[in-house]
């Protein structure tokens, strides 16, 4: 892969309801607000959540006669990996970032893009139900017993990627586990999850970042396609919206993505 190709960010979790699409849309818009050129592909042709969100955003722009930072986008409806790669090459041409939103199930196309990601983002709700996707724990001690199939898949992909990094002029894959809804977890259980994540991260090399604590606020914006960053279009915001905006900015900064030359730094974008 040429170093001129877009940085690939894949939002992946084989469990549904973890906030993949919500996180993907807001990260895409946040990067666009910082001056990056962004493309996004929805790999779920049935639900099309990311596609529909950005489609709603485009409709709001037309209806209000405004221009908002955003991404070019499409939904993949093909049947082969080759078709997916062709779409990715076409949509990502000239872009700084190419985002993939994957379905909440085991899917061959999701596996394909996950193993080729530059940044792999795995959102999870703060519960052992979601933790089970990446690792299994002992019932009594809550110690990590073994890796899950998904964690092993990514571990193997990262090892292959590391071997090919110099040859292909690509960075090593950065795997970030994003913890959503942390404010809704009982303190003792949260501490157990903290310990399990810390133990597992040492084994497979992912980083942990705090995500979105309350996604209802984000879902309210879906029909208009707006985000919490579109301050001039939202009217007066309540305290919960302001807190959520800060969480979003912290999440984007925590991904430590390689911004193109001339783009605004996250701190500047946060104060805009």
For the chain, what are the domain ranges?
A: 7-271
What is the CATH number that goes with domain 7-271? 3.40.50.300
Partners of residue 122 on adjacent β-strands: 177
Give the pLDDT confidence score for residue 145 in this predicted structure. 77
Distance of CA 202 to the CA centre of its chain: 21
Residue showing tokens 């949509």: 91
Give the pLDDT confidence score for residue 86 in this predicted structure. 97
pLDDT tens track of the chain, all 272 residues? 344 789 999 998 877 777 889 899 999 999 999 999 999 999 999 999 999 999 999 999 999 999 999 999 999 999 999 999 999 999 999 999 999 999 988 889 998 998 889 999 988 877 777 788 778 777 777 788 778 877 888 888 777 777 665 555 567 889 998 887 655 556 777 788 888 888 888 877 888 888 877 667 778 899 999 998 998 888 877 787 888 888 889 999 999 999 887 666 543 333 33
The contacts found for 83-90 with CB under 8 angstroms, 24 or more apart, are 84/43, 84/109, 84/112, 84/113, 87/41, 88/41, 88/113
Distance of CA 14 to the CA centre of its chain: 13
Give the pLDDT confidence score for residue 27 in this predicted structure. 95
SS3 221: coil
Residues in Cβ contact with 174 at an 8 Å cutoff, skipping those fewer than 6 apart: 118, 119, 120, 207, 256
Interatomic CA distance for residues 29 and 33, integer angstroms: 6
Lateral strand order in the sheet of 97-101: 72-75, 38-42, 97-101, 7-11, 119-125, 174-180, 207-210
Give the pLDDT confidence score for residue 141 in this predicted structure. 72
Angle, nearest 10°, between helix axes 20-33 and 49-64?
40
Residues in Cβ contact with 50 at an 8 Å cutoff, skipping those fewer than 6 apart: 21, 24, 25, 40, 42, 44, 73, 101
Give the pLDDT confidence score for residue 264 in this predicted structure. 61
Residue showing tokens 């919490």: 228
CA angle 80, 38, 112 (to 5 degrees): 25
Of 78, 96, 95, 21, which Cα lies nearest the Cα of 87? 78
Measured from the Cβ of residue 194, the count of other Cβ atoms closer than 10 Å reads: 15
């Amino acid at each position: 892969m040429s170093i001129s190709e877009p940085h690939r960010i894949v939002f992946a979790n084989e469990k549904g309801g973890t906030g993949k699409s919500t996180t993907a849309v807001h990260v895409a818009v946040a990067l666009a607000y910082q001056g990056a050129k962004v493309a996004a592909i929805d790999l779920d042709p049935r639900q099309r959540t990311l596609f529909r969100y950005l489609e709603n955003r485009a409709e709001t722009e037309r209806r209000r006669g405004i221009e908002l930072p955003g991404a070019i986008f499409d939904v993949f409806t093909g049947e082969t990996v080759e078709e997916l790669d062709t779409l990715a090459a076409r949509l990502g041409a000239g872009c700084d970032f190419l985002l993939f939103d994957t379905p909440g199930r085991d899917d061959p196309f999701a596996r394909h893009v996950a193993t080729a990601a530059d940044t792999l983002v795995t959102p999870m709700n703060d519960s052992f139900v979601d933790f089970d996707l990446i690792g299994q724990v002992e019932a009594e001690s809550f110690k990590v017993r073994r890796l899950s199939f998904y964690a092993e898949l990514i571990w193997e992909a990262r090892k292959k990627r590391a071997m090919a990094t110099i040859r292909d002029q690509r960075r090593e894959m950065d795997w970030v586990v994003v913890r959503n809804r942390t404010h809704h977890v009982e303190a003792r259980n949260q501490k157990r999850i903290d310990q399990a994540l810390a133990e597992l991260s040492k084994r497979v090399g992912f980083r942990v970042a705090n995500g979105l604590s309350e996604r209802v606020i984000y879902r309210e914006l879906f029909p208009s396609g707006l985000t919490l960053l579109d301050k001039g279009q939202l009217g007066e915001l309540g305290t919960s919206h302001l807190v959520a905006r800060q969480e979003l900015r912290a999440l984007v900064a925590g991904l430590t993505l390689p911004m193109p030359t001339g783009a605004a730094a996250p701190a500047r974008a946060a104060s805009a």
